[in-house]
Amino acid sequence: MTSKSQKKLRIAFIGAGGIAGTHMNHLSKMNDIEIVGFADVDTDSMARRAEQFGVEADACFTDWKQMLRKIKPDAVSICTPNKLHMNPTIDALKAGADVLVEKPMAATAADAKKMVNAATQTGRKLVIGFQYRHSPKTAFLRRSVDEGRFGNVLYGRVQALRRRGIPNWGVFYSKAAQGGGPLIDIGVHVLEMAHYTMGAPRPVAASGTTFTYLGNRDSDAVECPWKGWNWKELDIEDLAIGQIRFENGAVLTVESSFAAHIEKNLWTFELMGEDAGGRWEPPGIFTDQGGHMVNLEPHWLPPDGFQDNFFRKMRNFVDHCLYDEPTLSPAEHGLAVQQMLDALYNSAAKGGKEVAIR
């Protein structure tokens, strides 16, 4: 990667677990960044990361406030469990750092709002780690929407469905730590890219229902890749479904599961507009042309794997911090997504009654 100056972004991590490793792998390919410090309560895994990425032991802390004080990083990547996104983000912003916080932005919309306020008050940059909006398939659809080819987008369908994929690591089984289950963990990815592709309309109301029926049973009972999750303490949903209404009249339905009796996993969204519709996977645009119904597909797209998009997300964050290039993933979009997630869960807790988003 070419650098535009000799400047280096001094970046530290709060949370040095699984996804932090992916951040670091990509950052370490860039010559205009330096990984300068870690804060994690798991000292063993932090020590392994420090060795892997050449961070000195005296730059590793169990208390993120101490790390911020001693290291004074330019930027901080927050890779802690969802419930622990708000406090380190606000502390890092107040310490004068720009922040990339992993998805979902927070465990609740109230937390997310405080994070946006802290960014405004401190004048620091706050970016949400949504990598799927960096996907060439998302760009293919978003550009057509921007060019007005869809007309008004009326309806969208979001699907982030795993047949059996309850994480057997971390604290993904715990509502207290994560704020919820598949909806907030994987539904958020497809929801955010559909919302972004629609042009980020303002959500006004949502209704949702959640079901738990497999995750709370003996996790070794059926052969599947991630056997052994903590089924005894699991208190999240297996399947969440819901509907979101937007200020411009558009409607989006959402389906997200860690466990569902379906033929295969699905990871896609579709949009239906007045003049055209589109689908993310496989990518296509469906419209009328020359008196015929036609299906358009991109002849070629840049590489679109998980790591390709993750690299783009990390590069965009560095470019945003160092060179003031626009971010694709502003905090306001994270907040809107969080409001939708909150409303879907709140509605589910009220038996599916629609709740307003203010």
Ligand X SMILES: NC(=O)c1ccc[n+]([C@@H]2O[C@H](COP(=O)([O-])OP(=O)(O)OC[C@H]3O[C@@H](n4cnc5c(N)ncnc54)[C@H](O)[C@@H]3O)[C@@H](O)[C@H]2O)c1
Task: Note whether 13 binds ligand X by CB under 6 A.
Answer: no
Q: Which of 11, 30, 35, 39 binds ligand X (CB under 6 A)?
A: 39
Question: Of 66, 73, 4, 67, nearest to 35 (Cα)?
Answer: 73
- Locate 163 and state its tokens: 């047949």
Could you tell me where the beta strands, DSSP code E, fall in 5-125?
9-14, 33-39, 60-61, 75-78, 98-102
- Locate 9 and state its tokens: 């972004």
Task: Note whether 160 binds ligand X by CB under 6 A.
Answer: no
Site for ligand X in 42-61 (CB under 6 A): 42, 45
Residues 3, 29 contacting (CB under 8 angstroms): no
Binding part of the chain for ligand X, among 10-18, 68-76, 112-120, 320-328 by CB under 6 A, reads 10-18
Residues 277, 287 contacting (CB under 8 angstroms): yes
Task: Note whether 220 binds ligand X by CB under 6 A.
Answer: no
Q: Which of 16, 33, 97, 100 binds ligand X (CB under 6 A)?
A: 16
Binding part of the chain for ligand X, among 37-45, 120-128, 210-218, 256-264 by CB under 6 A, reads 37-45
Q: Which of 75, 95, 115, 129 binds ligand X (CB under 6 A)?
A: 129
Min dist CB 43 to ligand X, Å, is 9
Task: Note whether 111 binds ligand X by CB under 6 A.
Answer: no
- Locate 289 and state its tokens: 């042309």
Q: Which of 14, 105, 160, 205 binds ligand X (CB under 6 A)?
A: 14
Question: Of 78, 62, 151, 178, nearest to 118 (Cα)?
Answer: 78
Task: Note whether 236 binds ligand X by CB under 6 A.
Answer: no
| List of residues 6+ apart from 337 with CB closer than 8 A | 104, 105, 128, 188, 191, 192, 195
Q: Phi/psi at 295 (nearest 5 deg)?
A: -110, 125
Give me the numbers of helices (H) and strands (E) for the chain, helices first please: 11, 15
Task: Note whether 15 binds ligand X by CB under 6 A.
Answer: yes
Q: Phi/psi at 38 (nearest 5 deg)?
A: -135, 150
Task: Note whether 242 binds ligand X by CB under 6 A.
Answer: no
Min dist CB 329 to ligand X, Å, is 11
Min dist CB 317 to ligand X, Å, is 12
The helix (H) or strand (E) run that includes residue 340 is helix 331-349
Tokens 């901080």, residue located: 76
Site string for ligand X, 163-202 (x = CB under 6 A): -------x--------------x-----------------
Min dist CB 204 to ligand X, Å, is 26
| C-alpha to C-alpha distance for 356 and 358, rounded to whole angstroms | 6
- Nearest CB to ligand X, comparing residues 80 and 144: 80
- Nearest CB to ligand X, comparing residues 136 and 170: 170
Task: Note whether 3 binds ligand X by CB under 6 A.
Answer: no
Site string for ligand X, 72-101 (x = CB under 6 A): -------xxxx-x-----------------
- Nearest CB to ligand X, comparing residues 41 and 200: 41
Task: Note whether 70 binds ligand X by CB under 6 A.
Answer: no
| List of residues 6+ apart from 358 with CB closer than 8 A | none
| C-alpha to C-alpha distance for 78 and 71, rounded to whole angstroms | 15
Residues 159, 266 contacting (CB under 8 angstroms): yes
Task: Note whether 285 binds ligand X by CB under 6 A.
Answer: no
Q: C-alpha angle with apex 151: 146 to 156, nearest 5 degrees?
A: 85
**Residues in the site for ligand X, rule: CB under 6 A?**
14-20, 39-42, 45, 64, 79-82, 84, 102-103, 129, 131, 170, 185
